[in-house]
A and B are shown apart, each in its own frame.
Chain A
Amino acid sequence: MRVSAKDIDFRKLNQQIKSTPEDVYIEACYGQRFLASGLAGTKQVTIQGTPGNALGAYLDGATLVVEGNAQDAVGDTMNGGKIIIHGNAGDELGYAMRDGRILVKGNAGYRTGIHMKEYREKKPVIVVGGQVGSFLGEYLAGGLIVVLGLGAQEAPVGNFTGTGMHGGKIFIRTEQELKGLPAQVTAELAGTDALAEIVPYVQEFAAYFGMEAEALLNSRFYRLTPNAKNPYKQLYTAY
């Protein structure tokens, strides 16, 4: 089903997306927020133009493809499904995400993947092709974040990466040194065994965006892991 988003508000547009069993192609999207929030099932929603904030919040299964850029809060509290962004994403990408995948060809903003968590078979994955802003993976409790740093001259992450991290892993592809990491994070160069974990996701990323997975993987990656799953354990004295 093709829908022109021109001059329709988000509520009507969302009703159209949700009411059809078919795949949806949205033309001329001009910043409508909350698109496909809470959507489940297997359909694909393709968006031409720029969706507004909170695209795919609480997404629970469908596949969303953005042909241009996305804005803030993509995949907030996402519980399943897939979001593919051919341009850049804004801030708070995948906040508190629990499952599913987000692949961004370009860059992502501040606070990417904050407080993602995994549980049993549920494991959220974010792959960002370019660079990200500060506060990447803050409070990370589970899941996997990969930053490929394509086109980045400096290290492709900002300040305060992984502050309060107590689960999950962050992989950062860079030739630069990573500086200023907080005390809760252990950073090491990833060997072949460690990299094996991200191979399927990088392959998927490369397939979507027409790149060579081999070339991306055959690089220097840092792997960041938390040095404790109970970072606040020693903080309190009870009485």
Chain B
Amino acid sequence: MAVRTYYPLYTIVRDSRKCIGCRACERQCGNGAHIYHPETDALIENDEKCVNCQRCVAICPTRALQIEKSHNHYRENANWSAEAMDEIYRQADSGGVLLSSMGNPKEYPVYFDHLLVNASQVTNPPIDPLREPMETKVFLGSKPSRIERDAQGRIQCNQMPHLTLSMPVMFSAMSYGSISYHAHECLARASKELGIFYNTGEGGLHEDLYRFGDNTIVQVASGRFGVHPRYLNSGAAIEIKMGQGAKPGIGGHLPGTKIVGDISRTRMIPEGSDAISPAPHHDIYSIEDLRQLVYSLKEATNYEKPVIVKIAAVHNVSAIASGIARSGADIISIDGFRGGTGAAPTRIRDHVGIPLELALASVDKRLRDEGIRDQISIVAGGSIRSSADVVKAIALGADCVAIATSALLALGCHLCRSCHTGRCNWGIATHVPELVKRLDPEEGSKRLVNLLTAWRHEIKEMMGGMGINSIESLRGNRLMLRGVGLNEKELSILGIQHAGE
């Protein structure tokens, strides 16, 4: 017998009193964690295969199933956690780079949870959003620095191309390939209904989704997959991806096994061939080079589309953002280190980059100090979990936030962080037809609309409480925030006072 050095992380617990033997769990598990034995007419669990995606738990008609954290323990050690030991065993077995998905799950500080929002009392009274108009609309893009008039003194329209959103939330970039066609359709339909935007990521745009172009941001990344003039002109804006919060400094790699059918067609590469997005754009080594890509895209689209530059939150983010603001880009998108991914080397995901909150506050301050904040809008992403996070991000200086993990949760994701296996039982991060069809675009888009409609109400309520009736008056309004349990340095970077001050 081969020695297996690590024990399954989860134990599937089946309550035999409740189980009616319908075998739904067996049919629903794409990982093969439930096995039917005809000789004994019994369902047996293969814990080794379980990723704790909760699909069987959710589908079991009698609630007979639970997934527990395995009770098997290594000898306790405050330094060597079971996870650290397991990772050693896995690498010793395979010789491979550890790969994982979704956002950084480690216990770093979550600054949003140390920020508290203000409310009006007595003077500057709160506003009741049910009876007063509340404006949540935002406009993203470069703002003209002055009013221009013609010879007759009439005001000239010198508005630069921009994006109009009904509320300060958009969906972040997720490629067709990393997520399923149905997931993409959910995002596209919801964006249209909500008056916001979704983002193609670096996977091209499926022919059938061109009709959602007015609500689509098309991405150009280092691999340029599916990028051609019609694609560039089909969206409302173009995003240049320089980096991603989950894997700063790392390129992308969609394995050849996932380049099948329509994904191959949309990326415009042969089936079975790896889709490699190199870490750098090989034509960008400076802000001047970035400016060149920004302007070549503007030239190719007749200056009709705002250009977004997306970067990961890293150490010198404010200096980088200052350069981007001067590159001719209209919008900068900052992705914090909690941002999700369809696959990233674990060590990169968990140890590279900085928290969004600190990056955002520092970028906003730097751009204000330099007098160029109006030249560029800021989109903040990387684990925005609720409307409270949205409000806090805007008060820290964002014009708008981008959500992806929250959106996938709305579609059924349970954060099992196994996207890279391609066997997502919720039909999101998979291309297996019988798994993809579990995600109904009609139902999924409705759930996304529900989520953001609820957030919008909550945002209005918090705005009303602060006595603010337009979301734009909240942007960078740090007086609305106080910190709890933060040290002087953290407060100074965030540009806020401690609660009680």
Contact = CB atoms under 8 A, between A and B. Distances in A.
A232 B98 contact: no
B99 A237 contact: yes
B318 to A, nearest CB: 28
B140 to A, nearest CB: 23
Contacts of B299: 10-11, 14, 34, 37-38, 57
Interface string A226-239: 00011111111111
B276 A141 contact: yes
A55 to B, nearest CB: 10
B7 to A, nearest CB: 13
B437 interface: no
Interface stretch (B70-78, B224-232, B359-367, B488-496): B224-232
Interface string B273-300: 1101010001100000000100110011
Contacts of A40: 229
Given A79-B229, A233-B255, A166 B274 contact: yes
A91 to B, nearest CB: 8
Contact of A237 (B96, B232, B253): B96
A92 B296 contact: no
Contact of B300 (A38, A95, A118, A119): A38
Contacts of A135: 282
B302 to A, nearest CB: 8
A238 B292 contact: no
Given A166-B274, A232-B253, A237 B90 contact: yes
Nearest to B86: A239
Contacts of B225: 117
Given A166-B276, A231-B274, A234-B96, A76 B255 contact: no
Interface string A12-27: 0010000000000000
B105 interface: no
B158 interface: no
A157 interface: no
A27 B222 CA distance: 34
Contacts of A73: 283, 292, 296
Contacts of B99: 236-239
B296 A142 contact: no
Contacts of A45: none
B272 interface: yes
A122 B268 contact: yes
A238 B276 contact: no
B274 A229 contact: yes
A115 interface: yes
A114 B282 contact: yes
A205 interface: no
Contacts of A173: none
Contacts of A98: 224, 228, 268
B100 interface: yes
B94 interface: yes
Most chain-A Cβ atoms within 10 A of its Cβ — which of B224, B264, B301?
B224
Given A38-B301, A73-B292, A95-B282, A230 B255 contact: yes
25 contacts: A33-B296, A34-B296, A54-B295, A58-B296, A58-B300, A76-B296, A77-B228, A115-B282, A122-B268, A139-B278, A142-B270, A166-B273, A167-B269, A229-B272, A229-B273, A230-B272, A231-B274, A231-B276, A236-B345, A237-B97, A238-B420, A239-B86, A239-B90, A239-B99, A239-B100
Interface of A: 10-11, 14, 33-34, 37-38, 40, 53-54, 57-58, 60, 72-73, 76-77, 79, 92, 95-96, 98, 111, 114-115, 117-119, 122, 135, 138-139, 141-142, 164, 166-167, 229-239
Given A10-B299, A166-B276, A167-B269, 8 more contacts: A37-B299, A38-B301, A72-B283, A230-B272, A232-B255, A237-B98, A238-B99, A239-B86
The 7 A-B pairs with the shortest beta carbon distances in the complex, nearest first, are: A237-B96, A38-B300, A96-B224, A237-B94, A79-B228, A119-B268, A34-B299
